[in-house]
A and B are shown apart, each in its own frame.
Chain A
Amino acid sequence: MISSSLIPCGQFKTSYAADTTLFLTPASRNWCLFGIAVALAAPLVLSNYLLALLIQIGYYGIAALGLNILVGSTGQISLGHAAFFGFGAFASAWLNNSFGVPVLAAIPLAGVLTTLLGLLFGIPAGRLKGLYLAIATFASQFILEDFFSRANWFTGGSSGAQANPINVFGYEIGGDKGFFYVVLFFVLVMYLLGANLLRTRDGRAFVAVRDHYLSAEVMGINLTKYRILSFGISSFYAGVGGALYGHYLGFVSAEGFTILLSIQFLGMIIIGGMGSVMGTLMGTAFMVLLPEGTEAAVSTIKHFTGDIPALTSALAYIKEAAIGLAIVLFLIFEPDGLVHRWRLIKSYWKLYPFSY
Chain B
Amino acid sequence: MSADKNAAPVARREAEGRPVLEVRPVLQVRDVSLGFGGVRALTEVSFEVNKGELFSIIGPNGAGKTSMLNCISGRYHPTSGRVLLNGRDVTDLTPNVRATLGLGRTFQNLALFGHMSVLDNIMVGRHHLLRNNAVTGALYWGSGARREELAHRRKVEDIIDFLEIAHIRKAVAGTLPYGLRKRVELARAMAVEPSIILLDEPMAGMNLEEKEDMARYIVDLNEEWGMTVVMIEHDMGVVMDISQRVMVLEFGRKIAEGLPDEVMANERVKVAYLGIDDDEEAAGESAA
Contacts and interface: CB of A to CB of B under 8 A. Distances in A.
A322 interface: no
Contact of B111 (A5, A197, A215): A215
A204 B124 contact: yes
Interface string A200-229: 111111011011101111111111000001
Contacts of A194: 138
A200 B140 contact: yes
Most B Cβ at <10 Å: residue of A196, A210, A214, A221? A196
B113 A212 contact: yes
A193 B145 CA distance: 12
A14 interface: no
A38 interface: no
A196 B143 CA distance: 12
A202 B99 contact: no
Nearest to B111: A215
A332 interface: no
B73 A205 contact: no
Given A16-B154, A193-B139, A219 B115 contact: no
A208 B132 contact: no
- Of the listed residues A203, A219, A229, the one surrounded by the most CB atoms of chain B closer than 10 A to its CB is A219
A23 B112 CA distance: 25
Contacts of A1: 115-117, 172
A7 interface: yes
Interface extent on A, as a size class?
35 or more
A126 to B, nearest CB: 12
Interface string B156-180: 0100000000000011100100000
Contacts of B136: 200
Contacts of B132: 200-202
B103 to A, nearest CB: 8
Interface string A1-41: 11011010000000011011000000000000000000000
A166 interface: no
B110 to A, nearest CB: 9
A202 B133 contact: yes
A202 B134 contact: yes
B96 A223 contact: yes
A202 B115 contact: no
B111 A204 contact: no
A221 B124 contact: yes
Contact of B157 (A16, A193, A204): A16
Nearest to B156: A16
A45 to B, nearest CB: 33
A233 interface: yes
Nearest to A69: B134
B79 to A, nearest CB: 21
Contacts of B192: 219-220
Contacts of B100: 220
Contact of A211 (B113, B137, B150): B113
Given A193-B138, A201-B127, A220-B192, A212 B75 contact: no
A208 B115 CA distance: 9
Given A219-B99, A219-B188, A204 B140 contact: no
Contacts of B94: 217, 222
A211 B114 contact: yes
A17 B120 CA distance: 15
B114 to A, nearest CB: 5
B64 interface: no
A313 B75 CA distance: 59
Contacts of B188: 219
A196 B96 contact: no
B170 A4 contact: yes
B96 A197 contact: no
Given A16-B154, A211-B114, A200 B145 contact: yes
A4 B172 contact: yes
Contacts of A214: 75, 111
Contact of A201 (B104, B112, B130): B130
Scoring A7, A211, A214 by chain B CB atoms within 10 A of each residue's CB, the highest score goes to A211
A114 to B, nearest CB: 15
A249 B189 CA distance: 52
A141 to B, nearest CB: 24
B30 interface: no
Contacts of A204: 116, 120, 123-124, 127
Of the candidates B94, B107, B149, B175, the one having the most CB atoms from chain A within 10 angstroms of its own CB is B149
A13 to B, nearest CB: 9
Interface of B: 73, 75, 94-96, 99-100, 104-105, 107, 111-117, 120, 123-125, 127-128, 130, 132-134, 136-140, 145-146, 149-150, 153-154, 157, 170-172, 175, 188, 192
8 closest Cβ pairs, A-B complex:
A200-B137, A220-B99, A220-B128, A211-B113, A196-B140, A215-B111, A193-B138, A197-B138
Given A207-B120, A219-B96, A219-B124, 14 more contacts: A16-B150, A20-B146, A20-B149, A20-B150, A200-B140, A201-B133, A208-B124, A211-B116, A217-B95, A218-B99, A219-B128, A220-B96, A222-B94, A275-B115
9 contacts: A16-B157, A193-B138, A197-B134, A204-B127, A208-B127, A216-B113, A219-B99, A221-B124, A223-B96
